[in-house]
Every structure is written in C-alpha cells, then in structure tokens.
Amino acid sequence: MSNYPKIILKPGKERSLQRFHPWVFSGAIEAVTKELSDGEIVEVYDSSKKYLATGHYQEEGSITVRIFSFTQCEIDEDFWLQKFQRAVNLRKTLGLYENKSINAFRLIHGEGDLMPGLIMDYYDGNVVIQFHSYGMFLLKDTFVNVLKNVLGDKLKSIYNKSETTLSNAIEKEDLKGFLFQANKTEIIVNEYDNQYIVDIEEGQKTGFFIDQRENRKLLEKYCAGKKVLNVFAYTGGFSIAALKGGAELVHSVDSSQKATNLTNKNVMLNFGECDKHQAFAEDAFSFLDKMDNDYDVVVLDPPAFAKHLHLKEKGLKGYRSINNKVIHNIKKGGLLFTFSCSQAISSEDFRTMIFTAAAQAKREVKILHQLSQGADHPINIYHPESEYLKGLVLFVE
C-alpha cells in the first residue's frame, strides 16, 4: 500500500473520476487525511473509501487535483519513464519520430497524454517544457532524467519556458532557462520541408504553433495562383505554406512587431528575396475594417478570445466580428480557413457562430473541411476539453 495523503470525495462526486475525467474540483472534496502542501501527490477516494485515482494537489484555482493515474501504484521515476515511453511510441506511430521532413512535434500533451499540467514540444532534439501545474514543476529533475533515457542521443537540450504558465512564489530563474545542455535559443525546424525559425526564449507558447501543421499543409494545396491574406500570422506559419503552394501574393498581419520580423526572416529563409510577400505589424481588427475585397484565400487564426468559460459570450462576439468581416469581403469563390483555439468554445458553438456571421453577411457558404489540432496533440476521449482547436474551411460564393 502506498503512503500518499488521501482526499475523500463527497458522496456522488466520484462519478466523473469513474468516467476517467482527470480533474477534481474543490467543491467535490469532503475531507483530507493530512494538511497538504502545494504540488503534493495525493490519492483520491470515494465516500466509501474506495480508491479512484492519483494526481497532483494544487492550492490555487478551482481544479484541486489533476489526475495522472487511475491505477494505484508507486509514483517513482519508473512510473514517469513508462508514461513518456508510451508518449514517444505514439509519436513513432504517427511517423513523426524519425522523419527528416518534419522534426517538430508535441511530445507530451497534458491531459491528452494523461499528464495534466505538462506540455513538452520537440524541436529537432531540443525539448521545450511548459509547466502548467506546480506538481509537475516539482518533478523537473525527474523529467530531465526520463527525457535523457527515452530520447537517448536524439536529445540536444531541454529548456524550461514556464514564465507565463506558473507564477506564485517560484523564483524567476526557475521559470526560465536550460535544464540540460545550454544550446541556441533560435532553432530552425522542418515542417513538411518548409523551414521555420523557432525562438524558444522569446516566442509565444513554446515558440511555435505546432498544432496547425496539418492545416498549414492543407492550405498549401489551395493556394496556386491565389492572393492570400493570413491574419494573426504570428511567425508566418500559414504564409510560408501558401507561398510554397504557389500563391501569387501573400499578406501576413500580426500586431506583434517581433513576430512580423520573424515572418520576414522565415520568408527569406525559404524563398530568399521574395516580392510575393508582405508583412504588416498591425491590429487585425483595423486591418480587416479596410480589407481589400480581392483576396481568394483568407486565414483567421486568432489567439484564444475566450480563455475562461465566463468569457465565452464575449469571445464568441469577437470571433463573429472578424469572421463576418471576412465572409462579407472575400472574393466570390474564395476560401476562408477559420479557427478558434479557445477551450471554452465547443465545435458546436464555433459552427453556430460561423452560421450567424455568414447569415449576417448574406453570402452562400459551404463547409469543405472540419479541422482540429494535429494527432501529436491527442484528444483524451474522457476529457472533451482536450479538443481545443477547432477549424473550418469555408467556400464562400
């Protein structure tokens, strides 16, 4: 028997854990067997003292326990090693592990890999970790050992990039910096043979939006001879794909000057001096207000407008506004690639919002593709919130 502190749930509150949902909310808890410290490993029991699951206790926020095991066992280095091995095996199954034309992928996807609070992205042997829970943060030395073990000589460096995801009392230097083998902070990765510069120190999230890989690939095939507008372009992920697909002209818009500079560098890296591309460091809303009506293809990939459930309505309004503007102005027979990465907005909400935006614009609109995140960001079937990225490709007449 293990010696972890126990959390006892109120009667009836065991149901979501019995259905393998990995979160325990504060309101579900009846009692604890000892005073808990932040990030501690705890076992969760139902009101009749039957074991349900093991996870990390967190003081802050409404999710009090994040579950990483539904089987009672010792949580030692070997436990994590086996979990990481399974995560790597999945990426091997996906053909991402020994792939020369793609060397950036998500290695650990939080709840999707039943490791809530932990994100790891792999950039050509350089692993960038983002800790979203204190419990996972406390395991950072264990994870360095485990990564060395599972990745072997493929591992070049490990970088901790948790400044924006963890706060509290953690020392600043513990939130940012190399945990293994200090290396360059600008890494060039391949994605379907396109090259991208990833700034793991200053970039957003872990440096790159790997989750859009397959959607960028899809865009590529629709761009030959087209005039393309990429809004919320970040470092030009979709813009490079559009140029690769033979676009006649690509405009990239992002409010971040830093991101726009990297977009230009990425274009240079892939195509040299290129008069088919222009980047604008501008606010998307004002750019769309004066948008030309001769774009054939438009990409809208905004940041999460609804970061929490209580912001859902406000977020939907923002999405509706930008989609309405584009549907209104896009060329007849044009294609709109439109996305939401808000966990709080379901695919049904998203589709209803597009329905309204289209009806208001009075255009004939057909859905050609329904998109999500790449398979290296797996969706835990018991945790519908893992399906955070929703996308539609619309044909607008």
Q: Could you say which residues in the range 197-236 bind ligand SAH, by CB under 6 A?
A: 204, 209, 212, 232-235
Q: Could you say which residues in the range 297-316 bind ligand SAH, by CB under 6 A?
A: 301-303
Toward ligand SAH, which CB reaches closer, 41 or 336?
336
Candidate list 53, 75, 259, 354; residue touching ligand SAH; CB under 6 A: 259
By CB under 6 A, tell whether 68 contacts ligand SAH: no
CB atoms within 10 A of CB 360: 14
By CB under 6 A, tell whether 284 contacts ligand SAH: yes
Toward ligand SAH, which CB reaches closer, 205 or 312?
205
In the complex, minimum distance from the CB of residue 285 to ligand SAH, in angstroms, rounded to a whole number: 6
Helix%, strand%, coil% for the chain, nearest 5: 30, 30, 40
- Is there a contact between 58 and 134 (Cβ–Cβ < 8 Å)? yes
Q: State the alpha helices, DSSP H only, in 140-190.
A: 140-151
Toward ligand SAH, which CB reaches closer, 60 or 283?
283
By CB under 6 A, tell whether 278 contacts ligand SAH: no
In the complex, minimum distance from the CB of residue 295 to ligand SAH, in angstroms, rounded to a whole number: 16
By CB under 6 A, tell whether 67 contacts ligand SAH: no
Toward ligand SAH, which CB reaches closer, 271 or 280?
280
Structure tokens at 94: 């996906």
By CB under 6 A, tell whether 254 contacts ligand SAH: yes
Q: CA nearest 150: which of 92, 84, 83?
A: 84
Interaction mask 322-361, ligand SAH, x per CB under 6 A: ----------------------------------------
In the complex, minimum distance from the CB of residue 284 to ligand SAH, in angstroms, rounded to a whole number: 3
Structure tokens at 244: 């690769």
- Type of residue found at 17: L
Q: State the alpha helices, DSSP H only, in the chain.
A: 15-18, 77-93, 134-137, 140-151, 213-220, 237-244, 257-271, 284-289, 312-329, 347-361
By CB under 6 A, tell whether 137 contacts ligand SAH: no
Toward ligand SAH, which CB reaches closer, 120 or 284?
284
In the complex, minimum distance from the CB of residue 209 to ligand SAH, in angstroms, rounded to a whole number: 4
| Residue number with the smallest Cβ distance to ligand SAH | 237
In the complex, minimum distance from the CB of residue 259 to ligand SAH, in angstroms, rounded to a whole number: 5
By CB under 6 A, tell whether 113 contacts ligand SAH: no
* Neighbour-count burial of 196, counting CB atoms closer than 10 A to its CB (0-12 exposed, 13-18 middle, 19+ buried): buried
- Is there a contact between 273 and 197 (Cβ–Cβ < 8 Å)? no
86/61 Cα distance (integer angstroms) = 30
Contacts with ligand SAH by CB under 6 A: the residue count is 19
263/300 Cα distance (integer angstroms) = 16
279/294 Cα distance (integer angstroms) = 17
Using CB under 6 A, list all residues that contact ligand SAH: 204, 209, 212, 232-235, 237-238, 254-256, 259, 283-285, 301-303
